[in-house]
Amino acid sequence: MNILIFGPNGSGKGTQGAIIQKKYGVPHIETGVIFRQNISKKTPLGEKAKAFIDCGELVPDDITIPMILDRLREDDCKKGWLLDGFPRNLAQAEALWAALEKEKIKLDYVTEIDLDRETAKKRIMGRRLCKMDNNHPNNIYIDAIKPIEKNGKMVCRVCGCEELSTRADDQDTAAIDKRHGIYYDTQTGTLAAVNFFKKRTKVISVDGSVSVKEVTEELLKKLK
Ligand code: AMP
């Protein structure tokens, strides 16, 4: 099963992506995570990507496109993949489509979480990272995943870890605006990529403004 998931930063794409991954048992490939791992390991790729990521700009296509196409050729992707955070612009969508056609790989589902820009921004700023596990969802602005209060302190709602932090680019409003500017751009940005797929295949859209549980239910119903 080969799946793409679109949605602005803050739409719950990571949370829903983890649920889709579980359903189909395919690797969840998140471009942002790959970059951040390379930055923390101080690899040459990480060093090149860091400056762009810090200010919310896209890492250039000549770095990102081959990185992702190579990742999709790895062994664990033979059973399928869930691609999250790529394509992020029209050029990446065209490159992915051409590579899939050339390698005769079928795209089974293209999914999109719809969310308005203001709500997405608020949710990004509310995101909290658990030191024990980055996949423990915590957000001070979303009731369903609000951290728990313990002795006047917010702790991880999953494991109780007392060290909750924020991602630097999540608290920088200029960086958020830049990231959202790219997402909501229908000319060459991510919505242009979504429209590219809408012209070629069916795109499953779900309303991201409702609760996490409701988004999951709608998504799973439509994915079959
Ligand atoms: P994310 O974790 O998805 O918010 O991504 C964090 C950052 O990684 C983005 O703001 C970009 O700088 C970079 N990035 C992620 N995906 C891509 C992509 N498909 N193309 C270029 N840069 C990307």
Write out pLDDT tens, residues 153-172. 999 999 999 999 998 888 99
pLDDT at position 81 over 90: yes
183 lines ligand 1 (CB under 6 A): no
**Nearest protein CA to atom 19 of ligand 1, as residue:** 86
Name all contacts of 168-171 with Cβ < 8 Å and 24+ positions apart. Answer: 168/54, 169/53, 169/54, 169/56, 170/124, 170/125, 170/127, 171/125
**Nearest protein CA to atom 15 of ligand 1, as residue:** 32
Q: Domain 2-115+186-223 has what CATH class? A: alpha beta
What pLDDT does 14 receive?
84
What pLDDT does 135 receive?
79
13 lines ligand 1 (CB under 6 A): no
Q: With pLDDT > 90 as the criterion, what percentage of the chain qualifies? A: 84
DSSP string, 66-128: HHHHHHHTSGGGTT-EEEES---SHHHHHHHHHHHHHTT----EEEEEE--HHHHHHHHHHEE
Both tokens of 55, joined, read 């200010």
Q: With pLDDT > 70 as the criterion, what percentage of the chain qualifies? A: 100
Confidence of residue 131 (pLDDT cuts 50, 70, 90): very high
Q: Across the chain, what does the average pLDDT equal?
A: 94
What pLDDT does 202 receive?
93
Most ligand 1 atoms within 8 A of CB, residue of 15, 35, 67 to mutate: 35
What pLDDT does 42 receive?
96
Q: What is the mean pLDDT of residues 104-116?
A: 96
Which helix or strand (DSSP H or E) is residue 28 part of?
strand 28-30
